[in-house]
Amino acid sequence: MKVLLTLSIVATIFAAAFARDLPSFLHVCKRNDPNLSNCIKKSVENFKPYLINGLPEYNIPTLEPLLLDELEAEPGNTIKLRLKNVHVYGASNFTVSRLKANTDTLRFVVELNFSSLSIESDYDIDGKVILLRIKGSGPMTGNFTNCKGLVKLQAHVVKRDDGANYVEIVNFITKISVGKGHLLLKNLFGGDPLLGEAINVAINSNFDDFIKELQPSLESAISSTFLKIANSILGQFTYEMLFPLS
């Protein structure tokens, strides 16, 4: 009994400290592939179905929904808008419109198209526009079409205590653009239907400006979320497994 316990503890420690076997759903690309970008693009497309439900045993979370902690904007420095418990739906349904990969510099550029995204969150708004005090908190929903994401990432190879090389992303930059969309803030002014409706109309007729205010916060939330996810997936496999020489 004692021996078994010891063995299983040793096995657990080893499993945690060493790279694991490559799962079949990860299609790796050879370092000297003459069309490396195209190969990685195909691997990303192939990986998509696993993002719908996630694979916890490989640290892959579900993207349906994608959870973002908190977003903040201060349009015109007179209003403070805070979104919490942001649930994004449709993030796993993307197409890769462009991918540039370089295994020498470990620099990657990926452009994604999202044909339709929706969002559910809690909002809190407080501030003034001209003379009107805008105040409320409650649920917010929104639908967006034709969204694009541009991701630029820089990785490094690091040697770990086990002597093997691992890929670690050190810089992850996201740029988001939203095509069209519609937002609905419920319960503005404590539920006053006329004032609430007026503010929602005002927000949606200035949709582009409203989104622009949220953009920096959205982009940094997405970057930090995906940096963490990507590194916890990559950290399970060695550089040589992910980018074999031949």
Please give the Cα distance from 182 to 224 (Å, whole number): 26
Structure tokens that stand for 18 in this block? 């060493």
Angle CA 159–165–171, to nearest 5: 80
Site for ligand NAG in 205-244 (CB under 6 A): none
Least Cα distance to 225 among 95, 103, 34, 62 occurs for: 62
Q: How far is the CB of 80 from ligand NAG (least distance, A)?
A: 21
- Of the candidates 43, 59, 62, 113, which one interacts with ligand NAG according to CB under 6 A? 113
Q: Is 8 in the site for ligand NAG (CB under 6 A)?
A: no
Site string for ligand NAG, 60-99 (x = CB under 6 A): ------------------------------x--x-x-x--
Nearer to ligand NAG, 123 or 166 (CB): 123
Contacts of residue 127, Cβ cutoff 8 Å, sequence gap at least 6: 74, 78, 79, 80, 133, 134, 135
Nearer to ligand NAG, 134 or 203 (CB): 203
SS3 assignment, position 117 = strand
Please give the Cα distance from 44 to 67 (Å, whole number): 21
Q: Is 154 in the site for ligand NAG (CB under 6 A)?
A: no
Q: Which residues bind ligand NAG (CB under 6 A)?
A: 35, 38, 90, 93, 95, 97, 113, 115-116, 118, 141-143, 146, 182-184
